[in-house]
Amino acid sequence: MSEPIQTEPPPAGPPGRDFATLYRATISPLRRYLTRLLGNTTEAQDVAHDAYLRVYPSENKTPAEHPEALLYTTARRLAINKLKRRSISPFARGYQDLDRAPSSAPGVEQQVMARQELALLETAIAELPEGCRAVLLLRKIELLSHREIADRLGIAISTVEKQHARALRLLRAALPAERSDLTFPSSPASDSEAHS
């Protein structure tokens, strides 16, 4: 009587031996490839690690005909996913660790300088003639047009314009040259609107 034909594959070598060979042969070139793709060595190492973890189970069960191709394809897909996540991340290419990110708050030196500048400006405004000071504050703080200031103070628009120009000129003269930008920002309503 003839022996039955064996349908099982021949026993493989020790488990993981082929994967270990694959790992040793591909780890360095795979990391270099991923570093070029991602532009970051740490991320390349992480993606390579993830790729090996995904390929390992399939290599142990049914080895691929071209395991290197499977590994590189898996790694490339993981890298592309990482690049996509990076592009939509609110911290894309920014600081990964917010504890080490620079603060946007002004430092102590800047706060002290700002207080000194504010004190200089307050003093200069307080020393303005009363009419100039009233027009300046209505224009720059309350953001009124020249026409509205004229109506409120009961004076002509031309007087408002002259008082406003004089107040700005006196402030520029009172403040040091490098601080002359401390005059108030322009209001949204331009002076040309005042005459309309």
Q: Which domains does the chain have, with CATH numbers?
A: 17-88 (1.10.1740), 110-194 (1.10.10.10)
**The three-state (H, E, C) secondary structure of the chain, written as one string:** CCCCCCCCCCCCCCCCHHHHHHHHHHHHHHHHHHHHHHCCHHHHHHHHHHHHHHHHHHHHHCCCCCHHHHHHHHHHHHHHHHHHHHHHCCCCCCCCCHHHCCCCCCCHHHHHHHHHHHHHHHHHHHCCCHHHHHHHHHHHCCCCCHHHHHHHHCCCHHHHHHHHHHHHHHHHHHCCHHHHHHCCCCCCCCHHHHCC
pTM over 0.85: no
Interval 13-37: pLDDT, tens: 444 457 788 888 888 999 999 999 8
| pLDDT score for 147 | 95
Interval 82-139: pLDDT, tens: 888 887 765 555 555 555 556 667 778 888 888 888 888 889 999 999 999 999 999 9
| pLDDT score for 60 | 63
What percentage of the chain exceeds 70 in pLDDT?
Answer: 71
| pLDDT score for 110 | 83
